[in-house]
Amino acid sequence: MRADRLVATLLLMQTRGRVTAAELARELEISVATARRDLEALSTAGVPVYPQPGRNGGWQLVGGARTDLSGLSAREAQALFLLAGPAAESSDEVKAALRKLMRALPETYRTEARAAAGATLIDPARWGEEERGRPEEVRRLQEAVVGRHRVRFDYKGSRRTADPWGVVDKDGTWYLIAGTARGRRTFRLDRLGGLEVTAETFVRPEDFTLDAAWGEVVGEMEERRSRTWATLLIPARFLWVLRDHFGRHCHPGDERDDGRVRVRVGAPTPTDIARTLSGWGATAEVLEPSSVRAELARIGAELTGLYAAE
């Protein structure tokens, strides 16, 4: 896991002072290209890791070799926890590494380091949308979450003021979980503009955790997105494609003797399901409900009417 490697890379550099990408690759059993990307990621995140050209060059921490992680500055510690924190939810190794790092930090840095570790959440399950690039507002919002600074931004035609509680990466689509005058709200970052991080500070609710809040958001969204369910048969070799289309709303059953799998898929309306399945032709056979079958028949009739003459 990348976050685990980043922690290991920093620990190695703290001990040796200077390493080459080739040395790092040998130590961590990764490719040289991967080692170089990890070093560049640390540098981009704000950890003072810089390449030194020349025959005896390599990558090193500014200030020379340090064997005690307490040598990190507050911003350096924040940068590392922002990188590794999201992965800790799914990796016991990363959790252990962050606990060790936390104990090595000066007490004055620990509060902000904990905030940084909980500032970002990664949810890999898709909602059937194309992957997007990382919005440039992510870094500024992460800093606002850690520093407890109120933000202002344009959203759906109006200027909003919010207390940023955390940011979430939903498989390439980023969201802001924030407190507002109307309670907790969720904002898509690709629809957010004119971001301003103010000097005003706020107090986040003591009982708030980003993973629990996002779980509630996902639950509400999934309920809206799965009001209609259909049962269909599809060749087992194409099941992965169906899963990619429907994400969490794809529940396969057992494979039949004819090589097909019985699958339940969900979407907001029968039309949404029919539109997704219409391109499959006879490869996907919808068994129920009749509303989805009727929509597929309607789409087929429209296409026949439009292209039959050709």
In-domain check, residue 219: no
User: Which of 53, 87, 117 is the last residue in one of the domains?
Assistant: 117
In-domain check, residue 202: yes
The SS3 of residue 162 is: strand
Q: Are residues 15 and 102 in the same domain?
A: yes
User: Which of 186, 210, 234 is the last residue in one of the domains?
Assistant: 210
Count the domains in the chain.
3
User: Which of 92, 117, 142 is the last residue in one of the domains?
Assistant: 117
pLDDT confidence of residue 78: 58
In terms of Cβ atoms closer than 10 Å to its own Cβ (0-12, 13-18, 19+), residue 76 is buried
Q: Are residues 43 and 65 in the same domain?
A: yes
Q: Are residues 155 and 171 in the same domain?
A: yes
C-alpha 299/C-alpha 305 separation (Å) is 10
CB burial readout 138-171, b (16+ within 10 A) else e? bbbbbbbbbebbbbebebeeeebebbbbbbbbbe
Q: Are residues 145 and 101 in the same domain?
A: no
Structural domain harbouring 139: 123-210
Q: Are residues 106 and 142 in the same domain?
A: no
With CA atoms as reference, report the closest residue to 104 among 182, 15, 212. Answer: 15
Helix (H) or strand (E) run with residue 143 in it: helix 137-147
In-domain check, residue 102: yes
Give yes or no for a contact between 177 and 142, defined as CB atoms under 8 angstroms apart: no
Give me the tens of pLDDT residue by residue for the chain, a chain 310 residues long.
466 677 777 777 776 677 888 888 888 888 888 888 888 877 776 677 777 776 667 887 765 434 345 455 556 565 665 655 555 555 566 566 666 666 555 555 556 555 655 555 555 555 555 445 566 788 889 888 888 999 999 999 999 999 999 988 877 788 999 999 999 999 999 899 999 999 999 998 988 888 888 888 887 777 666 678 999 999 999 999 998 888 878 999 989 999 999 999 988 889 999 999 999 999 999 999 999 999 999 999 998 988 887 6
Helix (H) or strand (E) run with residue 25 in it: helix 21-28
Number of Cβ within a 10 Å radius of residue 56? 8
In-domain check, residue 190: yes
CATH number at residue 185: 2.30.30
C-alpha 226/C-alpha 181 separation (Å) is 30
C-alpha 151/C-alpha 160 separation (Å) is 8
In-domain check, residue 216: no
In-domain check, residue 218: no
Give yes or no for a contact between 46 and 53, defined as CB atoms under 8 angstroms apart: no
In-domain check, residue 263: yes
Q: Are residues 168 and 250 in the same domain?
A: no
C-alpha 173/C-alpha 126 separation (Å) is 9
Q: Are residues 87 and 175 in the same domain?
A: no
Q: Are residues 29 and 84 in the same domain?
A: yes
- Tokens describing residue 135: 């919005």
C-alpha 104/C-alpha 113 separation (Å) is 12
Report how far apart, in Å, the C-alpha atoms of 37 and of each of 21, 44, 80, 169, 218 are: 9, 10, 15, 20, 32
Q: Are residues 206 and 231 in the same domain?
A: no
* Terminal CA-CA length for the chain: 53
With CA atoms as reference, report the closest residue to 84 among 99, 72, 106. Answer: 99
Predicted TM-score of the model (pTM): 0.45
Q: Are residues 141 and 232 in the same domain?
A: no
CATH number at residue 24: 1.10.10
Q: Are residues 88 and 103 in the same domain?
A: yes
Number of Cβ within a 10 Å radius of residue 291? 15
CATH number at residue 296: 3.30.70
pLDDT confidence of residue 86: 57
Strands in 49-52's sheet, in edge-to-edge order, are 18-19, 58-61, 49-52
Listing DSSP states for 249-291 in one string gives GEEEEEEPTTSEEEEEEEESSHHHHHHHHGGGGGGSEEEE-HH
Q: Are residues 295 and 248 in the same domain?
A: yes
pLDDT confidence of residue 308: 80
In-domain check, residue 128: yes
